[in-house]
Structure formats: C-alpha cells, structure tokens
A and B are shown apart, each in its own frame.
Chain A
Amino acid sequence: MGVGAALLSATGQPTPKVMARLAELGLPDLAARLAVHALPVVLVVSAVLLGRALGKGRSKTVRWIIYALLGGVVGFFTGYTIDILVGLPAFIQAVNGPLAAPSVTDIALWAIGAMFIVLGLMMAALAVFGSPAAHAIELEPDDDPEAMDIRKAERGIFGLSSAGAFATGIASIALAIAQQSGDGATLGPSIIALVAGAASVFASIILWNLMDELQRRQVVNAYAVSAVILTAGAFVWSIAEVQGLVPPFSASATFVVITLAQTIAVFIITTAAAGNARVKKRRAA
C-alpha cells in the first residue's frame, strides 16, 4: 500500500486550491508540495508500524479492532490526499476525451480496480523480494521463520497472481471509463477492458493448473460460499425490484458484486485457515 500510495503521489499534482490553502498556512511552495506528495506514504507506513506496536501482546480481537480503527482513519486521509492529487483523471480525459460524472457503479468499478492494482503491487513485491516482502506486508508476521519462507516456485505463483490482479484492476477501471465516456469514445476503453479481462481469465486458468490440492480446495470453498450468498442476495433483490423498492441491476453492477463477494470470500477463508494454523501451533508448543 505504501508503494501504491507513493506511485499515486508521484504521478499526481496537487490542485491550485490545496496549494493556496497551504500557502495561507505559511508553508513555502516547495515544502507544501513535498508535504502533499509525502503524506500518503507517511500515513500508510506509520499506520502499519503503529498498528504493530499497539497490537503487540494483545488478544486477537483487540489487535484487529486496532487495525480496523487505524485502517479507517488512514483510509479516509489517504483517500482525501489522493483526491487532491488529481493527476490520473486529468490524464485519462486528455487521452480519451471528457468523462461524465461517475455513477455509483462506476465509483465501485474504480475502487475495485484500485484495490486489485494495490493487491497486484503487493504480490509483485512478494514475487520479486520473497520473504523480506512477506515480513513487510504481513501485519502479524509468523514467529516461525519457515512460515515466512518463500521459495522460487512460490515466487512464480505470486508473479502470475500479480499479473492477474493487475489485469483485473485495469479491466475494471477501463469498464468504468467506457461507461463514463461520451458517444463515439467508448470503443477504445471497451477494447482495453476486453483484452485485460481476457488476460485476467488466462492468468486464472494457468494459476489453477499450478495450484496444489489445498489451494484448489480453498478457492472452491470460497466460491461455493460466495455463490450461496450471491444467490440469496439476487433472490432478495428480485423481490425488492418487483416491489419497486430498488432499481434493476445492470451487468456491470453484477460484475462488481460478484468480484467483490468472491475476493472477500477467498480472503476470509485463506486468512482464517492461516489463523487456525497459528493457534494450533501455539497450543502444541
């Protein structure tokens, strides 16, 4: 996340309004620019360090409450600082033409795209740097050095996962841009979305072939759980739609909900399994 914030910070430009506000506070131009660019990175890195320090020696519930609180505060301020560094939308509008105001679905597509790109960055770090990156990324690094050991074969899988996550992120953002583009300007982003989507599916198929039986079982379990939740959700939405309580669901909104549900299910099932392993190891010790 620190790297992601650094990239956004480096590619963005503070708005004149923000710079004027900082000048009013008495900050020289260079110092103000440095502060605005450094803030997202400083926030993310300090939140991780603070979370680790405050959570040390506390129960799992208290630790995760601390992480959630810090994550909420930092997420808000990082979002705010990224919002004032509006470099990316300006660049897209220069290349693609003017964009309409985003709908709720568009905002969700942008958010999912950003989330997958950050995930891709994290997995790329694991692929390139191995164990040191695992220690840096994990909020709760395992005491057992073996558990944090990442060998060459695993780095390959992380590399491929990273490519898949990047492709999914680009596909989501390109779909949002296509939806926000005016008549005649939707073809370019649609083609990018299709190519990135195809790359994402291709990476998923290769990954599935590289997975062992436990990894495949975790994916199957996660998808089964998300399928039950999504089916129930679709059923309830259908009834609400008939009653005129909610609007009809678009295909892109369906893509957002399915992607989000599957990602959350995979995350919960894999992290819960890792947590169980640590508890059992401590009990055995």
Chain B
Amino acid sequence: MKNQLRVLRAQRAWSQADLAEKLKVSRQTINAIETGRYDPSLPLAFTIAGLFELSIEAIFSPEDAEAGH
C-alpha cells in the first residue's frame, strides 16, 4: 500500500513522535507505515483517517493504483 501520511504530517508540522502520541501507537509504527513497510490494521486506518478528517482512500491506495489495475 502507498500512503500520504508523511505529506499530511508535514503539512501540520507534526513529528513522527507527535503523530504517534495522537494515534496512541509507537513512533516505530508511524515510521513503518510511512516507509511502506507496514500496512496498518483497519481500525488504525480509520483512526488515522479520522485524525486527518479524510477518507481512508484519500490517505491509502494500492501500490498498482496508478497503473490502472
């Protein structure tokens, strides 16, 4: 999965640790999601979407989304 987490976080001038505190997860988890190493669970994806007031699809998309698959 690709995601816009780093961009959205930078727009709000939040550090990874700031976002981790808001989502009640570890900073390593934020880092892992941003680098595409870890896909969050559905409950965490909903919490992230709720925090940024966006839909899940606006933040997360499949790797092959641009290829039109």
Contacts and interface: CB of A to CB of B under 8 A. Distances in A.
Interface of A: 146-147, 149, 151, 153-154, 157, 211-215, 217, 273-274, 276-277, 280-281, 284
B7 to A, nearest CB: 12
Task: List 6 tightest A-B contacts by C-beta distance, closest first.
Answer: A212-B25, A214-B29, A280-B35, A277-B35, A146-B16, A151-B17
Contact of A212 (B17, B29, B35, B37): B29
A213 B25 contact: yes
B63 interface: no
Contact of A146 (B17, B25, B37, B41): B17
A149 B27 contact: yes
A277 B35 CA distance: 6
Nearest to A152: B21
Contact of A154 (B26, B36, B40, B41): B26
B15 A149 contact: yes
A146 B29 contact: no
Interface string B9-30: 0000001110011001111110
B69 to A, nearest CB: 22
A215 B35 CA distance: 16
A274 B38 CA distance: 11
Task: Give the interface centre of A151, A154, A214 by most chain B CB atoms within 10 Å.
Answer: A214
Contacts of B35: 276-277, 280-281, 284
A153 B28 contact: no
Given A146-B16, A276-B37, A213 B29 contact: yes
A211 B28 CA distance: 11
Contacts of B17: 146, 149, 151
A197 B31 CA distance: 34
A213 B32 contact: no
B54 interface: no
B36 to A, nearest CB: 6
Contacts of A215: 26, 28-29
B15 to A, nearest CB: 6
B20 to A, nearest CB: 8
A266 to B, nearest CB: 14
Contacts of A153: 21
A137 to B, nearest CB: 16
